[in-house]
Amino acid sequence: MTERIIRVGHSPDPDDAFMFYGLASGKVQLPGIKIEHMLEDIQSLNERARKGELEVTAISAHAYSYVADRYWIMRTGASMGEGYGPVIISRKHSSLAELRGKTVGTPGPLTTATLLFKTFTDGIKNVDMPFDMIMEAVDKGSVDAGLLIHEGQITYESLGYKKILDFGEFWEKEAHGLPLPLGLDVVRKDLGEELAHTLSHGLKESIAYGYKHQEESLPYALQWGRGISTSLGEKFVKMYVSELTIDMGEKGKAALELLFAKGAEKGLIPRVPPIELF
């Protein structure tokens, strides 16, 4: 029997690698399906999703507002901050008030971090750049502050940067305890509901395998740790691969609805139709 090829896009980051280890290693298999892994940065995956190129892909939660006609949200695979999230940092400044009229380096137009920045700050300019160039831009003075994602969220303090705002802490109060949706996995609607559910279940099994066999999955994931220590890498993975990643449930769905409503209210994103989880 010919296997059906399903292309799965995810970013070369420790948390994504941990989630997909079971599938990537072949330890979790889906009968009749061959998974082809496409590793690209999240901004590239967001752009590919807008064209509907991949059957399953990781995207920024922000990007879903532009691809809701093509993709369903998988209930598994989401990255959600629980009291932590993207952080605005600076060398010289220590408050949002000081940044008025100044420029912040942001990690890409479709990232959720940039949506949060535009939704909840006023009078501060931004310039998009690759996420891994933001600290350097702050150091050179080409931007006044930077909005950090990925492992920068847990390394900035040891590198001597000042925290101006942690959007995870801010959101927890704003959203009355709901998690902060940052990344999603989505499945293309033209695959049909049955296959969409099969793929979502397969990813759930892959995450479960990673947790059960951390002696295999963590070293694999930390190949993409960009030089962070094993202990910091493990901390980062477990921040963003949590119970909500296994199944976001109603709590995760409510958080997404609130994020999309806030963005739409400010005219930053189109209105998102009712969310159906797969």
Residues 142 and 196 in one domain: no
Q: Check whether 65 has a pLDDT greater than 90.
A: yes
> Catalytic residue at 93?
no
Q: What is the pLDDT of residues 73-111, one digit of tens each?
A: 999 999 999 999 999 999 999 999 999 999 999 999 999
Determine, yes or no, domain membership for 17: yes
Determine, yes or no, domain membership for 273: no
Determine, yes or no, domain membership for 270: no
Residues 25 and 48 in one domain: yes
Strands 103-106 and 79-81 come out as unpaired
DSSP E strands in 82-209: the ranges are 87-90, 103-106, 125-128, 145-148, 162-166, 180-188
Q: Which strands make up the sheet holding 162-166, listed edge to edge? A: 125-128, 103-106, 145-148, 87-90, 162-166
Q: Which domain holds residue 142?
A: 87-174
Residue that finishes a domain, picked among 174, 195, 212: 174
Q: Give residue for tokens 């925290």.
A: 163
Which of the four pLDDT bands, split at 50, 70 and 90, describes residue 253? very high
Structural domain total, the chain: 2
- Tell me which of 191-200, 225-234, 267-276 is least confident: 225-234
For residue 243, the domain's CATH number is 3.40.190.10
Determine, yes or no, domain membership for 75: yes
Q: What is the pLDDT of residues 177-229, one digit of tens each?
A: 999 999 999 999 999 999 999 999 999 999 999 999 999 999 999 999 888 88
Determine, yes or no, domain membership for 33: yes
Backbone angles phi, psi at 139, to 5 degrees: -65, -35
Q: What is the pLDDT of residues 122-171, one digit of tens each?
A: 999 999 999 999 999 999 999 999 999 988 888 999 999 999 999 999 99
Residues 201 and 135 in one domain: no
Residues 159 and 23 in one domain: no
Q: Which two tokens stand for residue 217?
A: 């999955």
Decide: residue 36, CB within 10 A, 0-12 exposed, 13-18 middle, 19+ buried: exposed
Catalytic residue from among 37, 150, 197, 213:
150
Residue that finishes a domain, picked among 146, 174, 202: 174
What pTM does this model have?
0.95
What is the C-alpha separation between 76 and 2, in angstroms, rounded?
27
What is the C-alpha separation between 166 and 143, in angstroms, rounded?
18
